């Protein structure tokens, strides 16, 4: 794996959640390898790459989140946040909501005031978010709610784990748009990234809840590697992506095009 960061220039300070495995660990490794300072947030920090400052945090726990953010604030201003941590649809719906929506939003909102002008927030979403069934008005209503009311309303929907996962990532798309507009005056960009299937430790969980996952992998020819998605996150966090803001980047290896147009014969 080439761990050279695409983000050349002066060293920056980046916070990465989910830094102990998968895409988060690959991103932390790329950034530290390029000389950037990385604070790696995870519930279990044993897998955080060497050279990354570990910050233990259970994103479902508001008190733990506040303590982690306070620790981050002590080091001074930051230049970016990559919110990579998430759970798959094999988890109970309440856990999916707690991590992928409530925990992501709570942590991001707490860290955002420390991001310096020119910095960026990148939220990891999923192509599954495009299968979420909420209307724009429903998504806006949910995101207008405080944490306790949002948790109650999400729970009242009665979704199973996979359906909760799709909605959670759909809400990340909507949250990206509104946060980008809100942070624009501060000179901070906000984007999301939606991968298709990725070779990570939780791929088996996705396979168990998404029957079409292997069909998608076969159509594209393989799954993405964690470092390939990390490379995209790395670029979006960097000054080189300064004119990208408020959008979702579909990192699907061409899956959408192949589904729309049809796959050509191999080698064509």
Residues 205-239 have pLDDT tens digits of 787 788 777 788 888 899 999 999 999 999 999 99
- Helix spans in the chain (H): 22-33, 62-74, 93-96, 104-111, 136-143, 147-156, 161-183, 203-209, 213-220, 226-237, 255-261
In which element (H, E) is residue 15 found? strand 13-17
Between the two ends of the chain, the Cα-to-Cα distance in Å is 28
> What's the distance, CA 209 to chain centroid?
19
Domains of the chain plus CATH, in order, are 13-252 (3.40.50.720)
Distance in angstroms (rounded) separating the CA atoms of residues 233 and 100: 18
Q: Which residues of the chain have pLDDT under 70?
A: 1-9, 263-268
Pairing of strands 78-83, 115-124: parallel
The pLDDT value recorded for residue 125 is 98
In which element (H, E) is residue 252 found? none
Cα-flanking dihedrals φ and ψ of residue 243, to 5°?
A: -105, 15
Distance in angstroms (rounded) separating the CA atoms of residues 70 and 43: 16
Distance in angstroms (rounded) separating the CA atoms of residues 13 and 35: 10
The pLDDT value recorded for residue 78 is 97
DSSP state of 16: E
The pLDDT value recorded for residue 1 is 41
The pLDDT value recorded for residue 212 is 76
Pairing of strands 198-199, 53-56: unpaired
Q: Which residues are catalytic?
A: 165
The pLDDT value recorded for residue 268 is 40
Pairing of strands 189-195, 53-56: unpaired
Exposure b/e, 17-31, CB count within 10 A at least 16 = b? bbbbbbbbbbbbbbb
């Amino acid at each position: 794996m080439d761990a050279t960061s695409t983000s050349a220039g002066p060293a920056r300070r980046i916070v990465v959640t989910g830094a102990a495995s998968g895409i988060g660990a690959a991103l932390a490794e790329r950034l530290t390898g390029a000389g950037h300072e990385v604070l790696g947030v995870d519930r279990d920090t044993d897998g955080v790459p060497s050279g990354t400052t570990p910050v233990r945090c259970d994103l479902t726990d508001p008190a733990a989140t506040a303590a982690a953010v306070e620790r981050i604030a002590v080091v001074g201003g930051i230049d970016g946040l990559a919110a990579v941590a998430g759970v798959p649809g094999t988890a109970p719906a309440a856990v999916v909501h707690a991590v992928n929506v409530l925990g992501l939003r709570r942590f991001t909102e707490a860290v955002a005031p420390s991001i310096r002008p020119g910095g960026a927030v990148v939220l990891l979403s999923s192509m599954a978010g495009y299968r979420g069934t909420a209307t724009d008005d429903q998504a806006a209503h949910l995101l207008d709610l405080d944490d306790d009311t949002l948790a109650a309303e999400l729970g009242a929907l009665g979704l199973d784990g996979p359906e909760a996962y799709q909605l959670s990532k759909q809400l990340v798309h909507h949250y990206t748009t509104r946060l980008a507009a809100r942070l624009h005056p501060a000179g901070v960009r906000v984007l999301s990234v939606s991968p298709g299937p990725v070779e990570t430790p939780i791929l088996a969980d996705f396979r168990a809840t998404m029957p079409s996952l292997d069909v998608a992998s076969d159509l594209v020819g393989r799954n993405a590697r964690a470092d390939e998605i990390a490379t995209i996150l790395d670029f979006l966090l960097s000054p080189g992506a300064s004119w990208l803001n408020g959008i979702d980047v579909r990192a699907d290896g061409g899956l959408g095009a192949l589904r729309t147009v049809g796959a050509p014969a191999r080698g064509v």
